Structure 1
Amino acid sequence: MDVVIGADQDGFAMKEKVKDYLKQRDYHVIDVTPQPAKNFVESALAVTKEVMAGKAHKGLMFDRYGVGSTMAATKVKGMVATNVGDETAAHQTAEHNGAKAIAIGTGLIGLDRALGLIQRYLDAEYVDGRHQVRLDMLAKMI
């Protein structure tokens, strides 16, 4: 699976550790911030562009609280992203919401917890069906 990752200055250290974790598990990692972005808007949009262009299956965004990256990413029409803090939410957002990226708040979540929720997110597949109605509604929003 191709996974794109990006971080601002606050999320950079964790992003680097997650990158190593993913590579050890044979994920193809696209790092859009080999140096930390100046702010979460830049890093989130870099991740979003790769995912929306079909260059990666899923994206991971890192900043201090995760909220900023989520806000920036979801400004892009068609992008579904969320800030996650637990494994159930990480799994469900992929399975039910078709989330193309998740944001991790490195000031709130430690590395072990982050790795667990990232793995749950990456392991989950979108199930479509009744959930597509909501995605269609989101796509029609301005």
Structure 2
Amino acid sequence: MKIAIGADTDGFELKEYLKNYLKVKGIEVVDKTPKKGSNLVEAASLVAKAIMDKEVERGIAIDEYGAGSFMVGAKHKGIICAEVSDEHSSKMTSQHNSANMLAIGAGIVGKKLLEKMIDAYLAEEYAGGRHQIRVDMLNKML
């Protein structure tokens, strides 16, 4: 699996931690914000565009609270972005919503919780079935 990651200034430190965590797990990482200084709009847009361009399968954007990155991700056609701050939500958004992008708040989530959230998100497969109606509706928007 190949994942794009990006962060604004407030999420940069946690993004760097996540990058190393994913690499240790054998996941290819495309860092869209390798230098500190991006704002959340450009960082989350770069992650969303990497998914839209099929450069990666999934993406993760990190800012201070996650809400801003979520709003940016949700503005891009073909992106199903979920703002998550716990393990269960990370798992369920993958299973029920086929989310291809996560928005995470560095001011809310610490390193150990981040690890659990990412593991849950990546381990879960989309269930399809009755959930496909909702996913189709989301994909028709914008």
Normalising by the smaller structure, the TM-score range is: over 0.9
Question: 1:97 corresponds to which residue?
Answer: 97
Question: 1:116 corresponds to which residue?
Answer: 116
Contact 1:10–1:106, Cα closer than 8 Å, also in 2: yes
Contact 1:7–1:43, Cα closer than 8 Å, also in 2: yes
Structure with bigger helix share is 2
Segments of 4+ moved more than 3 angstroms: none
Report whether the alignment pairs 1:15 with 2:15. Answer: yes
* Structure-1 separation of matches of 2:95 and 2:54: 19
Question: 1:65 corresponds to which residue?
Answer: 65
Contact 1:94–1:125, Cα closer than 8 Å, also in 2: yes
- Return the offset for 1:73: 0.7
* Structure-2 separation of matches of 1:87 and 1:100: 16
Question: 1:41 corresponds to which residue?
Answer: 41
| Number of residue pairs matched by the alignment | 142
- Percent pairwise identity: 44
Q: Which runs of 5+ in 2 are unaligned?
A: none
Give the alignment's TM-score, normalised by structure 2: 0.95
* Structure-2 separation of matches of 1:104 and 1:11: 9
* Structure-1 separation of matches of 2:140 and 2:103: 23
- Return the offset for 1:118: 1.0
Contact 1:37–1:43, Cα closer than 8 Å, also in 2: no
Question: 1:31 corresponds to which residue?
Answer: 31
